Structure 1
Amino acid sequence: MRVLVVRPQASAEKTAAKLKALHHTPAILSLVVPVHDTDAATEGLARRHSAIAITSAEVANVLRSIGGELDRHLLTTVFAVGRATARAATEAGFRTVLVAEGSDGNSLADLIVRHRQDFGVPPEPLLYLAGTPRSQQFEARLDAAGAAYETVECYRMEPTRPKRSILKPLIVDEKPDAVLFYSRESARHFFELPLVTEYLDSFENALFLCISRNVAVMVPERFAKSVVVSATPTEEGLLDLL
């Protein structure tokens, strides 16, 4: 199958390698670029906090770029959404990483609330290292539970629009059999591309594979029958759909 991977370049290249190993033909389309704010992350870590919460593996990339300043924080407990994010935190050097297996911020907030019920409420607030744009689910659920936390935005995803000369071969000249979506923002930007709008009919026979229902809602209703959601919010679950 010809599979179009819609995600940031570095992550997409890893996915492409996995697709080749599965004997598929990958094509990469990056519509957002991560921009790190290491100063914000460093300043956030310097404040008193009981634990760290992350909802994206991109945060681990920010933290790795801090260098030796991160060492003093590696014994801090990290709460992470999903195995991929937890693995990224572990690779960054954190010793204790607790993972919420759900696909969104609600599951992470629920994990934190249960942890506090079991082990008590710490005196210091939780440090939420976040990106922008982001869903407000996690923070809303913590607010509802009365949990003290501080949000520090340490990266942002900036949209980028490929030139028509680059985009046309990917989606028109060689139509994809499947499109992989890993985030709401990437899916939204994809369907906002003028060339996609112009050639929307060419996707009638394509499958839109989404890592979660939260992502799937960004696919236009006309393709509802072509949307398939991963049984688990992981890349392994997503690739199993192929």
Structure 2
Amino acid sequence: MVRELDLIPEDYREFVFRIHLAKLTSACTAVFILVVFTFYLCNWQYYQYLKANIDQLEAEQAFTAKEKEKIASFETKHRILEQHLRLLDALSGHFSTHDIFAVVEKGLSGTDVWFERWKFERTREDVTHNKQADGYILEMPADEFNPRTSRWQLASSMSVVGKAKDHQTLSLFVTQLIAQPEVESVKVKRTSTSQVGNRELVSFHLSIILNNRARSI
């Protein structure tokens, strides 16, 4: 029986084994590093993708919030303008210019009276706490600027300064004014006589209170 002789020294064999082991370890380490790097790269890209989506959503949310704020501001301004419009409608809708001229024209019918000064006035009184107040009432609802509902009683009056032929003519003018439903009262604030040429005329100052027609808005 022939036996094979191993002529390779044991030390050399161990040295070669260690070299192969080192190469295998290096290869495994390289593969591991490559896998870790690839995993990190994929995670980083996915993180960037998520971050971009989050930034976009936050930007859209901020834009939406800003738009909602603008819309709320516009709605508030719209409500205020509507209230102002209602107030103007109420103030202009009480007695029109045509109504006033019609009242004066009927009062002057058949009289020898003329005006030197004529002033029309509107006044208002806060009757929020006066539930018994009637007449021409303007009601303003509460809002963020006015915490409580307010009620205003509006009144219209005319101040007339002029001359009449005599006291009887002035009395007829006042009587014809009071006879109209649009007139609540006529106050004679002042009268005096003056000589104009050969005629003696009556100077007067009247305060004409117009009748408040009940209305609530």
| Higher-Rg member (1/2) | 2
Taking structure 2 as the reference length, the TM-score comes to 0.23
In proportion to residue count, which structure has more strand? 2
With normalisation by structure 1, the TM-score equals: 0.21
Relative contact order, higher structure (CA 8 A, sep 6+): 1
